[in-house]
Chain A
């Protein structure tokens, strides 16, 4: 049987699942409980220095009926001062001296604010710092601009932190950019050791149908929040892959990990370890059981010895449009023994495909001359009765 342990930035993780900075890492009690449950490490909730009081608070779950796929909030921050967070770190270390432990930090645009905070925390047993570059820029008094959207500001900040500590320096990058690489390079040159991809998307939580005011605060002056959870995953996967492919620095994947498969996707696209936030807030720290069991079973079944064996495996298969083989075509094929004649595929193909599926007796059948191989019907069939077949074979 293989191992689940992972190595990144010189740290040894018992498994590649750690808690992301947030409400689940607000204090020692929660983190100790999580480590007991089996989590591989944690990033402590963001400690802030020099920020204005009255930061907007509130969060909106993005859902359809009972199913949730996102949270929009305003980047939760710790209630604790650096000194008090230091005491929490000591308490965690009493019980768990070796679990990797980072602390998320944010401050206004002054060297003293960052360095005072870092020196205070550095005196405790933390392995490193995660600069929260996705923090929105009320910090800097502007209306737009996260630290992670401004290469110069991020370089400046990273340098200040680097001067104040010899410990690890990780930057949690913003997804709200045209290209993440220039920002990431600036941080590397200023001394960053690795990255977390990513913080939340700049977003609006919705509208209250009764008052027509923006959620969650119902205040037209506070619209823009940070959108995380499953809805962030496609974007976070994209930036993880870009960083892994072009930068060659270790990456924590972060965005919508709720099942082991999500983690495996981040690893395959180049992350070494994943951070989990929303899923723990929704379901509790107990989900670590299904995450580790699922990943362990998958790695064993596929003959991989450890998570490191799948890190970056998908990157050689990630190409650009011009490199796709446009001569490769598929056709949809319906298994008539499983088709219930429900019409769902007929509607989808008729409205969003090629009008290639029709009733033949009690079942649906694909007209092979009309099918353009878009793949849509395969996903909509509630019975899983449609599969793809290479056109040449068909």
Chain B
């Protein structure tokens, strides 16, 4: 659909709906299926040098009656090694040479842990890197995930390490678990980041089993504070998107609770250039891409707009929108 194309940091997406880094992008085969279904791109499940076995079970769906408005997960990164991922990326490239692939990566508080990932993955033909500095599920005292993304100086260092070894577009996926995103945005940009993804999940507790008092999801009778995403996150991630674009005109992927085309319009209106979807795919399947693209296309046509860029930043003060639009010519 012509009006849905979007250029993000020089990467051409056929439509603004990407798979977010997570269970739906956990293997090459799943990403290939997503591209066949019509998804505009994908951020791969986060690759690290020391994959961890995931807990079982690892998701809990939060609902009121039949309405599923949240999901809590307690996993970390992909359980596949970087060697395995190199093969998976080749497999996606064989089937889809041009569809944008973003490699989500996560290291520790050492340069090598990030740089080795970049150096091994980049030759396989990804279009960008997305730094996961926002997974909320690491234990206290472990300098990983969101622990790296809650302090400007720490975040800036990690971004600079990745920047040293790649010229590809560099996106930072931010955590909403902070008082103020703006110092983090500035630190990341100064260190060489090109764009952002807003946001990863909120830290939360999904519920409690009232028979045995285990937090949910319950792994052998015990549980933990996990990552809360899905529709319940959307009002927060929308606010974070607006905070970022009002700090800098760098492009932003909106991420959090998108299940309808209307949700995507909300993110675009507060300045996102494209959106990433995870929970809705897990609950309803890849096929939702058809109603997302068709709905957005009809909306644009009904308003006489010839491109999604016409919506970007329209909910923000005029000056902010003008700054953003410099990115889209």
Spell out A's residues near B (CB within 8 Å): 62, 64, 67, 69-70, 72, 144-145, 149, 176-178, 201-207, 209, 212-214, 220-221, 223-224, 227, 230-231, 233-235, 237-238, 241, 258, 261, 264-265, 268-269, 298, 310, 313-314, 317-326, 328-330, 347-348, 350-353, 355, 372-376, 378-380, 388, 391
Contacts and interface: CB of A to CB of B under 8 A. Distances in A.
A375 B217 contact: yes
A352 B234 CA distance: 20
Given A69-B69, A237-B205, 19 more contacts: A204-B238, A204-B242, A206-B235, A207-B270, A209-B262, A231-B232, A241-B205, A265-B207, A318-B223, A320-B139, A323-B224, A324-B55, A324-B222, A330-B57, A351-B282, A352-B23, A375-B57, A375-B60, A375-B217
From DSSP, what is the main secondary structure of chain A's interface residues? Answer: mixed
A30 B177 CA distance: 36
Interface in B66-106: 66-70, 72, 74, 76
Contacts of B203: 235, 238
A230 B66 CA distance: 14
Interface stretch (B3-11, B108-116, B123-131, B309-317): B309-317
Contacts of A209: 262, 265, 299
B59 A203 contact: no
A350 B285 contact: yes
A367 to B, nearest CB: 15
A241 to B, nearest CB: 6
11 contacts: A69-B67, A149-B179, A201-B236, A207-B269, A213-B314, A258-B64, A261-B210, A320-B224, A325-B219, A347-B284, A391-B56
A265 B286 CA distance: 34
Contacts of B137: 321
Contacts of B138: 321
A204 B240 CA distance: 9
B236 A352 contact: no
A352 B24 contact: yes
Contacts of B220: 324-325, 328
Given A264-B210, A374-B56, A379-B61, A319 B286 contact: no
B157 interface: no
B195 interface: no
B62 interface: yes
A241 B207 CA distance: 12
Nearest to B243: A224
A373 B220 CA distance: 12
B236 A227 contact: yes
Interface residues of B, number: 90
Contact of A324 (B33, B65, B74, B178): B74
B323 interface: no
Which 7 pairs of residues, A with B, have the shortest CB-CB distance?
A375-B57, A234-B204, A352-B282, A347-B285, A373-B56, A203-B235, A328-B220
Contacts of B208: 237, 264-265, 268-269, 314
A322 B52 CA distance: 11
A152 to B, nearest CB: 14
Contacts of A177: 178-179
Contacts of B140: 320
Contacts of B265: 207, 209, 212
Interface in B138-194: 138-140, 142, 150, 177-180, 182
B282 A376 contact: yes
Contacts of A220: 315-317, 320
B20 to A, nearest CB: 11
A375 B70 CA distance: 15
A310 B212 CA distance: 11
A265 B60 CA distance: 15
B30 interface: yes
B236 A221 contact: no
B13 interface: no
B228 interface: yes
A348 B68 CA distance: 14
Nearest to B219: A324
A69 B182 CA distance: 28
B294 interface: no
B300 to A, nearest CB: 12
Contacts of A69: 64, 67, 69-70, 231-232
A128 B60 CA distance: 38
Contacts of B178: 177-178
A144 B240 CA distance: 13
B224 A204 contact: no
A324 B138 CA distance: 12
A212 B180 contact: no
B53 interface: yes
B215 A314 contact: yes
Contacts of A214: 242, 269-270, 315
